[in-house]
Chain A
Amino acid sequence: MAGKTMVVTSGKGGVGKTTTVANLGTVLATKKYSVVMIDGDIGLRNLDVVMGLENRIVYNLVDIIEEKCRIQQAMIRDRKINNLCIIPAAQTREKDAVQPEQMKALCSELAEEFDYVIIDCPAGIERGFKNAIAGAEIAIVVTTPEVSAIRDADRVIGLLEANMLKDIHLIINRMNFKMVKKGDMMSTADIVSLLSVPLLGVIPESDEVVISTNRGTPLVHDRGSRAGQAFRKIAARLNGESVPLDDDRGDGLLGRMKRFFKS
Chain B
Amino acid sequence: MLKAIRRFFGEKPSGKLARQRMQVVLMHDRLDLTPDVMEALKNDILAVLARYMEIDDQSIRVEMEQGKDFMALVSNVQVKRLYRKPLTQSI
Chain B associates with chain A: yes
Instruction: Tell whether, in the assembled complex, residue A194 and residue B19 are in contact, meaning their CB atoms are under 8 Å apart.
Output: yes
A52 to B4, CA, bound (A): 47
Output the least CB separation between A192 and chain B (Å).
11
Question: Which chain A residues border B14 with CB–CB below 8 Å?
Answer: 183-185
Question: Which chain A residues border B26 with CB–CB below 8 Å?
Answer: 150-151, 154, 194-195
A182 to B3, CA, bound (A): 10
Question: Which chain B residues border A180 with CB–CB below 8 Å?
Answer: 15
Known A183-B13, A184-B13: A147·B30 in contact at CB below 8 Å? no
Instruction: Tell whether, in the assembled complex, residue A147 and residue B13 are in contact, meaning their CB atoms are under 8 Å apart.
Output: no
- Give residues 33-83 of B contacting A (CB, 8 Å): none
Output the least CB separation between A53 and chain B (Å).
38
Instruction: Tell whether, in the assembled complex, residue A147 and residue B22 are in contact, meaning their CB atoms are under 8 Å apart.
Output: yes
Known A154-B26, A154-B30, A194-B23: A147·B15 in contact at CB below 8 Å? no
Instruction: Tell whether, in the assembled complex, residue A151 and residue B15 are in contact, meaning their CB atoms are under 8 Å apart.
Output: no
Interface string of A141-153 (1 = CB under 8 A from B): 0000001001100
Instruction: Tell whether, in the assembled complex, residue A147 and residue B21 are in contact, meaning their CB atoms are under 8 Å apart.
Output: yes
Output the least CB separation between B69 and chain A (Å).
15
Q: Does A243 contact B (CB under 8 A)?
A: no
Output the least CB separation between B31 and chain A (Å).
11
Known A151-B29, A154-B30, A158-B30: A194·B22 in contact at CB below 8 Å? yes
Instruction: Tell whether, in the assembled complex, residue B22 and residue A151 are in contact, meaning their CB atoms are under 8 Å apart.
Output: yes
Output the least CB separation between A193 and chain B (Å).
8
Instruction: Tell whether, in the assembled complex, residue A147 and residue B16 are in contact, meaning their CB atoms are under 8 Å apart.
Output: no
Instruction: Tell whether, in the assembled complex, residue B15 and residue A179 are in contact, meaning their CB atoms are under 8 Å apart.
Output: yes
Question: Which chain B residues border A194 with CB–CB below 8 Å?
Answer: 19, 22-23, 26
The residue of chain B having its C-beta at the shortest distance from the C-beta of A155 within the complex is B29
Output the least CB separation between B28 and chain A (Å).
10
Q: Does B18 contact A (CB under 8 A)?
A: yes
Output the least CB separation between A199 and chain B (Å).
16
A189 to B23, CA, bound (A): 13
Question: Which chain B residues border A158 with CB–CB below 8 Å?
Answer: 29-30
Q: Does A229 contact B (CB under 8 A)?
A: no
Instruction: Tell whether, in the assembled complex, residue B29 and residue A183 are in contact, meaning their CB atoms are under 8 Å apart.
Output: no
Q: List 12 A-B contacts (CB under 8 A).
A: A147-B22, A151-B22, A151-B26, A151-B29, A154-B30, A182-B13, A183-B14, A183-B16, A186-B15, A190-B18, A194-B23, A195-B26
Interface set of A (CB-CB < 8 Å, partner B): 147, 150-151, 154-155, 158, 179-180, 182-187, 190, 194-195
7 pairs of A and B residues whose beta carbons are closest in the complex = A183-B13, A190-B19, A185-B15, A184-B14, A154-B26, A183-B15, A186-B15
Given contacts A184-B14, A185-B18, 5 further A-B contacts (CB under 8 A): A151-B26, A158-B29, A158-B30, A184-B15, A185-B14
